[in-house]
Amino acid sequence: MLPTLVDIGLNLSHDSFDHDRDHVVAAAMAAGVRHMVITGSTLASSRAAIDLARTAPERYRATAGIHPHHAHEFHAEDLPALRALLQEPEVGAAGECGLDFFRNFSPHADQERSFRLQLELAVELGKPVFLHQRDAHDAFMAILRDYRPRLVAGVAHCFTGDERELRDYLDLDLSVGITGWICDERRGHHLRELVRLIPADRLMVETDAPYLLPRDLTPKPQSRRNEPKYLPHVLETVAVCRGESPETTARATTRNALKFFEFEK
């Protein structure tokens, strides 16, 4: 049996879990995923994440923030509402926040403004940041470099980038979250090499459920919905790629996540 795991990115307030959320959590716990960080991506979903976290604070943390997809809905006048959410005791990090120039659901200028506002808040409140970046590395780094000296910590969640991006993150002393993307033999192949470059004290694992169902699960689940119970599968893939035992990877990633998200206060 593996040491217990922490899923650092789980969209547990997503409506695809509305009909069986308790069952999903019980299955995750039975699989050894004993701690979960519930991602907030709008003011409303951050509120929902906090409310869920409050039902079992020893098991959950929430993040509170505005995903770049929703940046066009977030303005300076919304800051007091987000600040209040970030001050709730269940909140372990600010985010998810960052830039996504792949989908471009919000204009770049809105994304950059929203990202800066949230980094300011994280600095002000002394919160670590839960970061999202896709196809926006240079713009993301330019902003993050301004704030990094004043930020307590940050994790590049769902890392899918290349070696240059990874080295830039590590140079900024960020942590890195790996999802089941690494289990995708087409899109995730490069990650199998890169994951070795991540120091043991900078590595965390996540499912990003209900998204990113690992493509190589056997037997293939009936549903395309990802669940936190599949985190051990991601962890084992990461361990194989790093050339270490799953126990070693589990112990390190769990220790990192419990500290980062302030499960131990």
> By the criterion CB under 5 A, which residues form the site for Zn ion?
132
Report the residue number, 2 or 67, with the smaller CB distance to Zn ion: 67
Report the residue number, 127 or 132, with the smaller CB distance to Zn ion: 132
Cα–Cα dist 55/62, whole Å: 11
Report the residue number, 2 or 179, with the smaller CB distance to Zn ion: 179
Q: What 3-state DSSP class applies to 35?
A: strand
**Contact (Cβ atoms closer than 8 angstroms) between residue 18 and residue 188:** no
Report the residue number, 102 or 216, with the smaller CB distance to Zn ion: 102
Report the residue number, 70 or 132, with the smaller CB distance to Zn ion: 132
Class of residue 255 by CB neighbours under 10 A (exposed 0-12, middle 13-18, buried 19+): middle
Cα–Cα dist 81/69, whole Å: 19
CB 136 → Zn ion: shortest distance, Å?
Answer: 12
Report the residue number, 63 or 253, with the smaller CB distance to Zn ion: 63
Cα–Cα dist 246/220, whole Å: 22
Q: CB-based contacts of 221: which residues, under 8 Å, 6+ apart?
A: 213
CB 132 → Zn ion: shortest distance, Å?
Answer: 4
> Structure tokens of 250?
């589990």
By Cβ distance, which residue is nearest to Zn ion?
Answer: 132
Query: Strand order of the sheet with strand 91-100?
Result: 5-10, 33-38, 60-64, 91-100, 129-134, 154-156, 175-178, 203-205
Report the residue number, 11 or 254, with the smaller CB distance to Zn ion: 11
> Structure tokens of 145?
């470099």
CB 27 → Zn ion: shortest distance, Å?
Answer: 23
- SS3 for 104-151 is CCCCHHHHHHHHHHHHHHHHHHCCCEEEEEECCHHHHHHHHHHHHHHC
Cα–Cα dist 138/140, whole Å: 5
